[in-house]
Amino acid sequence: MTEEILPTPTTGGTRVPGPPGSRRRPGLVLAIVLTCQTMFILDTSVVNIALPRIQRDMAFSPADLSWVLNAYMLAFGGLLLLGGRIGDIFGQRRALIGGVAVFTVASLAGGLSASAGMLLVARAGQGIGAAVAAPTVLALITIGFPDQAARGRALGAYAAVSGSGAALGLIAGGMLTDWISWRWVLFINVPVGAVLLVSAPLFIAETDRRPGRFDLAGSLTSTLGMTALVFGFIRAAEQDFGDPAALGALGAAVILLALFVAIEARARQPITPLRLFAHRDRATGYLGLLFVMAAGNGMFFFLTQFLQQIRGYDPLKAGLAFVPLTVLILISSHASARLLPRLGAKTLTASGAAAITVGLLWLARLTPSDGYAGSLLGPTLIAGLGMGTLLVGITTVLTSGVRAEDAGAASGLLNVMQQIGGALGLAILVTAFGAATRTAHGTGHHVFTKGATTAFTVGAAFTACTIVLALTMKTRQDPAPEPLRGEESIR
């Protein structure tokens, strides 16, 4: 067994020493970056459980309440590409520390919010901080673990964190909301952020600083385009697709995103190098991940509402209902990391997507009288098994063969698909929910359940698309990574 260390960075030909001991403690480096990933992924879902209490205290309308989630996900996903570029130009450690600092301050401001507007601004601030820091996680793993076996284990841990973070957020949100206040779903980030700000400079060596410029035009068009797209779907959920505001937002989204692609094709240093999509498996993997995150985010959103509004669970009990799912994600991601060399990323991705599809189709049969043990436990366990399996496979596809100078951009794009897929997916599934509830008959419980099961069906269609995409991948084995320049190791 070999011990891998982070490369010693250089700036302008001068070697930059890392902090004492950092080069001999890859385990601590991994623990730090995975703690960051946990905090950012968890914050996407931790607010879910607290939404009824937030709505009551902050006087949100039902439609405006969705922006408590989307303000974070859109800022996070929309600026991730720029965040990846920041890490490449200024160094991954600097980007991580700066992003965590912004995220921590915004979390404190959110917990102290006195109005709905202040809360939404704070949530957007959290998203900005996460957008700068999150791309450094995979970049540091990619650079710091060049050995294939070591990298596979690190990616298995990353997949476990990414896959279970949403469910862990629901559990933590339930505990904090029930025991203290919904404000603590934001305050909890402050001590964690403080620990990260102290430990990162001590144990993470800085990476190469690569001269470059910021693609502000690309960043602006991508962020505005995705925001307009999500707004268009949410507006259609409130009204319908004939609404002028919805049509205008969707039209603007198409124009802005097309302009973004044109800018990236001509930019000297694009935030999204289009060569990342040149590898067929990687391009397929990005799209497949977007579909899975769209379905998964919607599943958590509607299940938490079903448990609290239909089954009468309190926030803590609703959060604990996701413990079995979390355990299955952790177990399956660990097992899949070990099976990766034998089965290959293609098989893991396709089989994981198939399991999630089965779980969603099972949930699509829910009725208002269905209990947890008989109708919810089984499908959530199957979905959890699929999530852990799929994330190991698809993360391996997306991080293999990436050049060192593209590490930040590639990891940023992976996180974009997670966050934008979640935001866009929630908007689409809420639109399907709204259309179903407008034509449903019966009591309020039956109307809600009809809308939720329709959303689960649409989510299953998304993950079925991922199965097809995975099966079209060219090879069974992972593409070999390109050597990282300046890489050093002690064997």
Do 173 and 307 fall into the same domain? yes
Note the pLDDT tens digit of each residue in 255-311.
998 998 898 888 777 777 777 777 777 888 888 888 998 898 888 888 888 888 888
Taking 70 as the threshold, does the pLDDT of residue 3 lie above it? no
Spell out the residues 6+ positions from residue 54 whose beta carbon is closer than 8 angstroms to its own: 47, 60, 65, 68, 119, 182
In a domain, 488, yes or no: no
Average pLDDT over residues 44-64: 80
Taking 50 as the threshold, does the pLDDT of residue 482 lie above it? no
Of residues 120, 62, 41, the one with CA closest to residue 387: 41
Count the alpha carbons within 13 Å of 104 in the hemisphere toward its beta carbon: 17
In a domain, 479, yes or no: no
CATH label of the domain that carries residue 142: 1.20.1250.20
Q: Does residue 18 contact residue 206 with C-beta atoms inside 8 Å?
A: yes
In one-letter notation, the amino acid at residue 53 is R
Note the pLDDT tens digit of each residue in 99-123.
999 999 999 999 999 999 999 999 9
Taking 60 as the threshold, does the pLDDT of residue 346 lie above it? yes
Distance (Å, whole) CA 257 – CA 224: 8
pLDDT for 254: 92
Distance (Å, whole) CA 304 – CA 362: 16
pLDDT for 14: 36
Q: What is the DSSP letter of 210?
A: -
In a domain, 8, yes or no: no
In a domain, 487, yes or no: no
Distance (Å, whole) CA 115 – CA 109: 11
Do 176 and 83 fall into the same domain? yes
Count the alpha carbons within 13 Å of 472 in the hemisphere toward its beta carbon: 15
Do 137 and 187 fall into the same domain? yes
Task: Please give the share of the chain, as a percent, with pLDDT higher than 90.
Answer: 22
Do 143 and 224 fall into the same domain? no
pLDDT for 108: 96
Do 248 and 321 fall into the same domain? no
Do 238 and 359 fall into the same domain? no
Q: How many CB atoms lie within 10 A of CB 259?
A: 17
Q: What is the pTM of this model?
A: 0.75
pLDDT tier at 124, thresholds 50, 70, 90 = very high
What's the full length of the chain, in residues?
491
- Burial class for 12, CB neighbours closer than 10 Å (0-12, 13-18, 19+): exposed
Pairing of strands 10-11, 14-15: antiparallel
In a domain, 198, yes or no: yes
Taking 50 as the threshold, does the pLDDT of residue 344 lie above it? yes
Query: The tokens of 178 are what?
Result: 């029930």
Distance (Å, whole) CA 109 – CA 257: 32
Taking 70 as the threshold, does the pLDDT of residue 169 lie above it? yes
Do 247 and 375 fall into the same domain? no
Note the pLDDT tens digit of each residue in 370-420.
888 888 999 999 999 999 899 888 888 887 776 666 665 666 677 777 777
When divided into structural domains, the chain yields a total of 2
pLDDT for 442: 67
pLDDT for 256: 92
pLDDT tier at 484, thresholds 50, 70, 90 = very low
In a domain, 476, yes or no: no
**What are the beta bridge partners of residue 11?**
14
The alpha carbon of residue 377 and the mean position of all alpha carbons in its chain are separated, in whole angstroms, by 24
Do 202 and 320 fall into the same domain? yes
Do 413 and 393 fall into the same domain? yes
Which residues constitute the domain of residue 74? 22-215+267-471
Note the pLDDT tens digit of each residue in 218-254.
878 888 888 888 888 877 777 777 788 888 988 999 9
